[in-house]
Structure 1
């Protein structure tokens, strides 16, 4: 466990400054291109778990995921485009499974994965890209807010669970997670939102920051459990091994996909209103 923590810290020391430089100094499209690359890796991990041994289906799943990312990035503020996307994806998932039938016992799982996966991953990562662009001068700050809500929650849950954890949170899905860890993660998420109000998104009022910290922090942990559910259902420990000490891309963005989406919803419907 200590070795894993050291690996995580070293990876963060290298990655965080590079991410912040790209976010604050680069153009919005540069940030979007980086996220599209990460989405590509995450989609291959996801469909590698849900469609094992079926490379054509994995590549179609990747194409659908990048398609969702592209649609949201290009027409993310157009309700008509988003509605068309929601109507087309279930049809695409069904047609893909009919074309690549394979084992009938897993057909329903693969239909669901081909429909849900692109929205879950492509939509969540696109929301993180849209925060940078649609937030204007505060765009980088809103991206940092989404990242902090996720990272602080993960860190708080790790240490609270490590030193205080006594009661299992959801043992059937994630045996190591505890109620105490979840509460610690929620507290740290709120702390990250408060810091955001005073430091990196000063235009964000304190009360909405607190609400966002609670809602995004809680739902982010649910996103973490959701990815654990997918992994356990297919017998995988990690989604991949691309990041030392962190597993795969999906293992690192499971909560972020939710916190980014909730932060983007706030940006679109309340902050700009």
Structure 2
């Protein structure tokens, strides 16, 4: 009789792969389409309305991150100054520019220091440090989305920014699922592979070249290649950074608001660090 172990292994090898991370794929697709419709409607109907979407995402993202910090690490960040300052950064960045958003970041940090004085001094430095990190990580990085939008052709620039970032994730998933063998960062995110990273960079570069050439005034295809490649790298690094945070907190997702995706922060992880890079490259290539 053949060994039982060999039969078991053969059967296991023939089993289809499960979706990465055990996600509910139909729910994830439905939520993704819905989010895309909301973004498109707000972006191309009245441009400034898109800022309401961004501000709402920032507020929810702040709540998710600070709630997980409180639950898992007993870190308590002053909520009111952080939420008010966070939304203020995004709105001010759109209407007044990045220097005013940076000033609000500084004022937000000071306001949290003062607000935290109302409670006992134990862990004061830890709580304020977490608050400043949250203010930088979520609303300040999101301010660059507002700066991208503020350009005359801001809606098309935002579309470029979103598409190259999404293509990075899509290309990485598709290529990694089919051909991925070499782990990219096994201790941080076991599902990511170097082959997937290459696929994400390639698809993002193609999308960047096409969109930069056809949608952005003064843009050329080679600029799009550079922008797409840089966006794919920063999107991957942003994903890994949030994976580090979640591993430190001992959680799988930052929230449960979006079925099949997790929380808002689980969708912003690659967008937030990519926004300043795209803004900088667009400003260098075609002006701000």
How far the C-alpha of 1:123 sits from its partner, in A, is 2.1
Residue 70 and residue 17 in structure 1: after superposition, are their counterparts in 2 closer, same or farther (change >3 A)?
closer
Pairs within 5 Å for 1:40-79: 40-52=59-71, 57-77=78-98, 79=99
How far the C-alpha of 1:207 sits from its partner, in A, is 1.7
Partner SS, residue 51 of structure 1: helix
How far the C-alpha of 1:152 sits from its partner, in A, is 0.6
Does 1:208 find its partner at 2:223?
yes
The Cα offsets for residues 183-230 of structure 1, whole Å up to 9 and x where unpaired, read as: 111112112202213443353212221111111210111011111111
How far the C-alpha of 1:248 sits from its partner, in A, is 0.8
Residue 91 and residue 194 in structure 1: after superposition, are their counterparts in 2 closer, same or farther (change >3 A)?
same
Does 1:245 find its partner at 2:260?
yes
Determine the structure 2 residue equivalent to 1:34: 53
Determine the structure 1 residue equivalent to 2:188: 173
Partner SS, residue 259 of structure 2: coil
Which whole-Å CA distance do the structure 2 matches of 1:108 and 1:171 have between them? 32
Would the aligned equivalents of 1:193 and 1:212 in 2 still touch at CA under 8 Å?
yes
Does 1:262 find its partner at 2:265?
no
The Cα offsets for residues 98-155 of structure 1, whole Å up to 9 and x where unpaired, read as: 5556864xx6553332112112211232222332222x1x211110111011111111
Does 1:17 find its partner at 2:19?
no
Query: 1 or 2 for the larger relative contact order (CA 8 Å, sep ≥6)?
Result: 1
Q: TM-score, normalised by structure 1?
A: 0.86
Partner SS, residue 150 of structure 2: helix
Would the aligned equivalents of 1:157 and 1:182 in 2 still touch at CA under 8 Å?
yes
If you compute each CA radius of gyration, which structure gives the higher value, 1 or 2?
Answer: 2
Q: TM-score, normalised by structure 2?
A: 0.82
Question: Which of structure 1's runs of 4+ aligned residues deviate more than 6 A?
Answer: 53-56
Structure 1 range deviating more: 163-172 or 230-239: 163-172
Which whole-Å CA distance do the structure 1 matches of 2:120 and 2:243 have between them? 26
Determine the structure 1 residue equivalent to 2:13: none
